[in-house]
Amino acid sequence: MADVEIKVRDNGPNRVAGPIRLVDATGAEFTLAGEVIFLCRCGHSENKPFCDGTHQKVEFKSEPRAQAQDDG
């Protein structure tokens, strides 16, 4: 199986690339057009969980950087 990559983008959505299944809270699967999707982080998209570009209008700011996680 190929790798899946989730890239946290500055001030925008998470980019998810690879062979994935995206399911909702009930277990129903979203229909995906390809192997790259953009997931909303700002909470303002009209097409959740997908990004619709609204983060630009609301001036969403977030620039997290990777750091080590504690095991406990």
Residue 25: CATH number of its domain: 3.40.5.90
Q: What is the pLDDT of residues 32-60, one digit of tens each?
A: 999 999 999 999 999 999 999 999 999 99
Residue 68 is assigned to a structural domain of this protein: no
23: containing domain: 1-63
As a whole number, the mean pLDDT across the chain is: 95
18-43: average pLDDT: 96
Number of domains in the chain: 1
Is residue 8 one of the residues assigned to a domain? yes
On the question of pLDDT at 68 being above 70, the answer is yes
Please name the amino acid found at residue 35.
E
Q: Within 10 A of 46 (CB to CB), how many other CB atoms are there?
A: 9
Q: CB 22: neighbour CB atoms within 10 A?
A: 14
Task: Please check whether residue 51 lies inside any domain of the structure.
Answer: yes
Q: Is residue 72 part of a domain?
A: no
